[in-house]
Amino acid sequence: MPTFAILAFVRWVHFAAAMILFGSSLFPFYAPTGRFLDRPLRRIVIGAGVVGLITGLLWVMFLLIQLVGDSEGGSTLEELTAFFLDTSFGPTWIAHLALFALALLVGVTLRRNSWTARPQAFGLAAVAAGVLVSQAFIGHAAAAMGSPLPGPAVHAIHLLASGAWIGGLVPLGLVLLGARRAGDAHSLGRGRDALRRFSTMGMLAVGLIILSGVNNALSRIDSPESLVATDYGRVLLTKVALFVLMVALAAINRFALLPRLSGRACGSVALDSLIRMIAAEEVVGMLILAAVAILGMLAPPL
Ligand code: HEM
């Protein structure tokens, strides 16, 4: 029987892969950087596709073991067929894993150095969005009744908005690292422009995350007391506290460090601080996903 920790770890890495896949493939649409990101983004897409597929299959295997009790009994093929075809969530899992496999396939077929301006880029972003939307129909959200707005649909917005933010920080970091390495005015300008555009997208994402997060919470929390009296409530509070910290880091980047990026001299100092702060923002984002990985395994009060 997989331990709680092992399953939580697999869920965590799976969420991170899905978010980085979507956030990275969406980035060129609102922060075009010419061909600068083509190669590294292609590697990220392929990497996220492979990790997402492996952890998705592991997650299904662990669910199957939990459902069947131990892997010794009965033929695994029969149990897998029953899992995928005779359960309410089986077909959703088929769609979710198939979309991850498709994203990987698209990633592998992308041309190395000029894909972000081509139709495949749209296809990839759409498939990556499909991976997150299908995720919204797995787990608690699929059973979420009683929320003001339809549970899974709002949850899909929650995952897309948080994926755009957490996943988009990776290519943003690459653009700023590239500007630091090149050190010329053109790269610095590209970095400044990418951060400004990312922050605008980020503000929209934060708004959507709060609205959909509160909707999610209202369908799972029955009273303010259970926020502190239950494991689920305490993990959710921890997640919201990390979210507030992440918003604070993003605000410092946008309103304190970005304005200091103009001018070559102080630009490189501000750039170094920015790169460190973007890395810190991503670390907090990954901690939020760790809380989420645990949250989905705890019974909500409602
Ligand atoms: C960057 C910030 C955030 C990220 C990355 C994030 C990510 C996620 C993810 C991936 C899930 C899906 C879990 C699953 O399907 O098993 C989720 C669920 C949820 N989120 Fe968020 N979220 C964020 C912020 C928030 C905020 C601010 C709130 C509350 C106001 C919130 C409330 C919830 C709730 C209640 C659930 C349902 C958990 C469950 O029972 O499965 N989230 N979130």
Question: CB of 62 within 8 A of CB of 135?
Answer: no
For 76-88, what is each residue's pLDDT tens digit? 678 778 888 888 8
Q: Select 2-295's CATH number: 3.30.1150, 1.10.8, 1.20.1630, 1.10.10.
A: 1.20.1630
Given ligand 1 and candidates 55, 62, 154, 158, which is best to mutate, with the most ligand atoms within 8 Å of its CB?
A: 158
Nearest CA to ligand 1 atom 36: 216
Q: Is the distance from the beta carbon of residue 292 to the nearest atom of ligand 1 less than 6 Å?
A: yes
CA–CA dist 267, 54 (Å, integer) = 41
Residue-wise pLDDT for 129-179, tens only, equals 999 999 988 866 655 545 555 678 899 999 999 999 999 999 999 999 999
The alpha-helical segments, DSSP class H, found in 141-230 are 151-182, 185-218, 224-229
- Please return the burial class of 238, using the count of CB atoms within 10 Å of its CB with bins 0-12, 13-18 and 19+: middle
pLDDT the model gives residue 3: 78
Q: Which two tokens stand for residue 135?
A: 């995720």
230 lines ligand 1 (CB under 6 A): no
Q: How far is ligand 1, taken at its centre, from the CA of residue 246, in Å?
A: 14
Looking at residue 57, its pLDDT comes to: 92
Q: 139 — alpha (psi -120 to 50), left (phi > 0) or beta?
A: left
Judged against a pLDDT cut of 80, whether residue 268 lies above it is answered with no
pLDDT of 70 above 70 = no
Residue, of 108 and 18, whose pLDDT is higher:
18
Q: How much distance in Å is there from the Cα of 58 to the middle of ligand 1?
A: 22
pTM: 0.92
Regarding the beta carbon of 209 and ligand 1, being less than 6 Å apart is answered yes
**pLDDT at residue 27 tops 80:** yes
Domain definitions of the chain by residue range? 2-295
